[in-house]
Amino acid sequence: MKKSIKVALAGNPNVGKTTVLNKLAGTALKVGNWPGVTVEKKEAFVKVKDYTLHFVDLPGIYTLDPISEDEKIAVNFIKNEKPDVILNIVDTPNLERNLLLTTELLEFGIPLILVLNMTDEAERIGMDIDSDRIEELLKVKVVKTVGRTGKGIDKIIPLLVEIYEKGKTPNSVNYSPAFEEALREVSKRYPKANKHLKIELLSKSQEFKSLKEELEKKFGKSIQEIVADERYAFAHGLYSEVLKRSGSVSRDITDTIDKLVLHPFAGFLVFIGVVYLTFKIAFDFSSPFVDWIDSFINDFLSPLSYNFLETLPLPVWFQRFFSEAVIGGVGFVLTFTPLIGSLYFLITFLEMSGYIPRVAFLMDRFMHKLGVHGRSVIPLILGFGCNVPAIIATRTMESTRDKILVTVMIPFMSCPARLVVFAFFISLFFKDNPAIILTFLYILGIFIALITAFVLRKTLYRGVLSHFVMELPPYRLPSIKSVFTITWAHLKDFLYRAGTLIFGASLLIWLLLNSPPGVKNPSESIAALIGKSLVPVFEPIGISDWRATTSLIPAFLAREIALSSMGTIYTATEDIQRKEDFKIVEASVEQLKAFAEATFEAVRSIFTLKITTFEVEEEEDSLREILREKFNPASALSFMIFILLYTSCLGTFAVMMREIGRIKAFLFLIYSFFIAWLTSFVVYRFYLFLVSI
Amino acid sequence: MGIETVNLGAEFTVKFLKEKTNPVIRKLSAMGLKEGSRVKLLLKNGRVYLLRLNNSRLIIDKDLAKYIEVA
Ligand SMILES: Nc1nc2c(ncn2[C@@H]2O[C@H](COP(=O)(O)OP(=O)(O)OP(=O)(O)O)[C@@H](O)[C@H]2O)c(=O)[nH]1
Ligand SMILES: [Mg+2]
């Protein structure tokens, strides 16, 4: 058996810990340019020689006394889980501050490697650090790296093994004589304790109360201040020893950009522009590919597989299953892969650029009215990427009250899964003004979130606001390669879901459509029975077809399933003509041509400012045709609003249970159903009223 | 004097921090804002300040800024 070496990645927030780990272990863990990206411990494994390196990426911390939940996770790990080696990643341009945590980590006497990251930025400002001198003074290994490009990172693994094999512990940290004297007293009773524990015993234990008071009298300040000052002094002394040349920022591009981006008024225009461009590019770039995949599945893949299946001795039901559940259900949702991909690409790019925390600064004034501070904007923005990690990100909030207020807002932030449903219905019913409808839906979500938080804050969560302090990183140009890696990880997740959850749901729906066994007409099946019993609930909001209501049930697993289920049910219940005379060579050539055209279209779209996606009249495939008959603009809008607001996502519900508790999560679910129904009702009736006059 | 007296773009020195045992103030110090630090006030926006401190930037809100005395 291989021996396992437990390596903790520790350091200040946003210094590149996760970036370094991704390079070390080939993982695609979330990286972003703001403090507080990693909020739970994440693991990765690397096999080398006789060892398995067990890396644990931790949330960033400034000191070992934590305030927020994410900080507690990191501190608990370091204090209680006894890593074999600590990989202490530091932000070189801010070395002095980072060395404070290093000092605390050294107190544990655990072998340590100091990774001087962001050396590219240090060089740019002309800063130089004497890494040999650090090695000499602390007896630790030092590596200079650039996380962005991976420079220097290959040296880390061999060093980890070496330091582990030799069991090299660092030099003990030396504080002032008077303080050391007191610690020696503690040692007498606890000879085995590490320095960190001794300091804790001295500060907190009843046992050393008189020793502590004596010390406090001698220094004229509280023990907490004494300890802090001792550590600062050590870090500062070390820093002056190893600094060869201190850099200075002359004219900083970040400051120049911030004058505009953080301007109270111009900043808002920039924000709107950024949001608009993100969606515009995501839509326009992906839409030719969405159309292409649609035709690829329907005009190529499915006839091809029918021809193939026909040559096999398979029962008729299998062919039906294939066309209804696989092509009609899963294939339908897969069509939207390019949309999901482009949106995640842009979101990841923004996350790595440093723009996201700027919005926190910009929106503070506004968020304050809701009883939370600007920082809470960050989880809310993450919600547009996916609600689940966004809810976990509320661990950075400093009080439970803030955490709950933000958590109940997040599920109303519209995620790409919802966008898939919107994109489909908008392309059917609102071709003339897609941007308006889409903006309306996103804003409606935000509006309901604000109302929810506002009401809670005026009733159950009156308490006071906690303080807002956050580091604002410089802008950083993301490396396109890592943006692609992370986008790909998101896409894989989506495809995995399509292959498991969505496929499973389609299978279930298909089975229910065909049971009890031998049922001739699907409208007499169990699926129809369940759907029909729900019709009275949804009829007032314009959804009266049992096929639509049935689709809503499995959609609780994930919202895209509303579409895949509808695909399955409508394909099964309506006669969709299959193209005959399929010729593989011609069809392949045609598909290739279509792909080239799609690529051209996609690239061209980037250079126009208007959203062009829904402009072209595309030819209708039959499923779209059918849905166009079964819905009308009013009921389509109502359906979209319902999907938007109702927390129809098992992942979100599960993570809410974990983060805020079962009861609150359950109450929220009921609330979201209720508010979704009510809003759909109002909008549906209002729309009908408008049309009638 | 408090930070509110400092002009935009001006530098100041942190003279005194109140309640040094308050966890948030301790975090502030660990982030580099200590007595004696040289700080530049970059921007204000409603309730928040943007400060420059060595090679880093810090957002703090006005209530927290009340704990900081400047010279
Ligand atoms: N210029 C430059 N940027 C880097 C370097 N290493 C990482 N980055 C960027 O710094 C930002 C922060 O990286 P992360 O890996 O998320 O940092 P982290 O330490 O895991 O952050 P938290 O999880 O929030 O504590 C990202 O935008 C990275 O692309 C580097 O060496 N040079
Ligand atoms: Mg991280």
**What fold, for B3-70?**
SH3 type barrels. (2.30.30)
Contact B48 A374 (CB under 8 A): yes
Shortest distance between the Cα of B69 and any Cα of chain A, in A, equals 17
Q: Is the pLDDT of residue A616 over 60?
A: no
User: A481-534 pLDDT, tens per residue?
Assistant: 889 999 999 899 889 988 888 888 888 888 888 878 777 777 788 888 888 888
- Is A203 near chain B, with CB under 8 Å? no
Which ligand is located closest to the Cα atom of residue A479?
Answer: 1
Q: What is the pLDDT of residues A645-664, one digit of tens each?
A: 998 888 888 889 988 889 99
Over residues B50-70, the pLDDT tens digits come to: 999 888 999 998 888 888 888
Higher pLDDT, A314 or A146: A146
User: What distance in Å separates the CA atoms of residue A121 and residue A249, rounded to the nearest whole number?
Assistant: 10
pLDDT in tens, B21-44: 788 888 888 898 988 888 999 888
Chain A closest CA to B4's CA: distance in Å?
A: 17
Dihedral-angle region of residue A52 (phi above 0 means left; psi in -120 to 50 means alpha; beta otherwise):
beta
Q: Is A32 in the pocket of ligand 1 (CB under 6 A)?
A: yes
> Residue A281: what pLDDT?
87
Point out the residue among A262, A398, A467 whose CB comes nearest to the CB of B50: A262
| 3-state SS assignment for residue A620 | coil
pLDDT tens digits, A339-365: 889 989 999 999 999 999 999 898 888
The Cα A352–Cα A37 span in angstroms is 10
pLDDT tens digits for range A287-325: 888 888 888 887 888 788 877 877 887 777 787 788 777
Ligand lying nearest the CA atom of residue A393: 1
Mean pLDDT of A681-690: 90
Closest C-alpha residue for ligand 1 atom 26: A33
Of the pLDDT bands very low, low, confident and very high (cuts 50, 70, 90), residue A57 is very high
- pLDDT value of position A14: 94
Which helix H or strand E contains A681, and what residues bound it? helix A662-692
Pocket test for ligand 1, best of A23, A27, A29, A31 (most atoms within 8 A of CB): A31
Q: Per-residue confidence at A617, pLDDT binned at 50, 70, 90?
A: very low
Summarize pLDDT for A393-421 with one digit per residue, the tens: 898 887 888 888 899 999 999 988 898 88
With a cut of 70, say whether residue A615 has pLDDT above it.
no
Which DSSP string do the residues of A179-218 spell out, in sequence order? HHHHHHHHHHH-TT--HHHHHHHHHH-GGGHHHHHHHHHH
In a mutational test of the pocket of ligand 1, which residue from A9, A14, A97 has the highest number of ligand atoms less than 8 Å from its CB? A14
Residue A622's pLDDT is 65
In the prediction, which pLDDT does A693 show? 79
Taking the domains of chain A in order of start, what are their residue ranges? 3-166, 177-245, 268-462+489-692
* pLDDT tens digits, one per residue of A72-118: 999 999 999 989 999 999 999 999 999 999 999 999 999 999 999 99
* A262 Cα to the center of ligand 2, angstroms: 25
Q: Is A378 in the pocket of ligand 1 (CB under 6 A)?
A: no
> What residue owns the CA closest to ligand 1's atom 6?
A147
Please answer yes or no on whether A365 and B26 come within 8 Å at the CB atom. no
Residues of B in contact with A62 (CB under 8 A): 27, 30-31
How many Cβ pairs closer than 8 A exist between chain A and B? 111
- Kindly report the average pLDDT of chain A as a whole number: 87
| CA–CA distance, A509 with A522 (Å, rounded to integer) | 11
Please report which confidence band the pLDDT of residue A465 belongs to, taking 50, 70 and 90 as the band edges: low
Q: Which residues of B touch A465 (CB under 8 A)?
A: 63
| pLDDT over 80 (residue A624) | no
Tell me the ipTM for this assembly.
0.94
Structure confidence at residue A1 (pLDDT): 62
Measured in angstroms, the CA of B17 and the nearest CA of chain A are apart by 12
A36 Cα nearest atom in ligand 1: 24
Residues less than 5 Å from ion ligand 2, measured at CB: A 17-18, 37-38
Cβ A303 under 6 angstroms from ligand 1:
no
Q: Is the pLDDT of residue A68 over 50?
A: yes
Does A338 score more than 60 pLDDT? yes
Assess whether the C-beta atom of A17 lies below 6 angstroms from ligand 1: yes
Domain A3-166 sits in CATH at 3.40.50.300
Q: What is the pLDDT of residue A283?
A: 83
| Rounded Cα distance, A97 and A532, in Å | 65
Task: Using CB atoms within 10 Å of the CB of residue B28, give its burial: 0 to 12 exposed, 13 to 18 middle, 19+ buried.
Answer: buried
State mean pLDDT over A187-197.
90
Q: Would you place residue A629 in the very low, low, confident or very high pLDDT band (cuts 50, 70, 90)?
A: confident
| Interval A188-199 mean pLDDT | 90
Asked whether the predicted pLDDT for residue A156 surpasses 90, the reply is yes
A429-454 core/surface letters (b: 16 or more CB in 10 A; e: else): bbeeebbebbebbbebbbebbbebbe
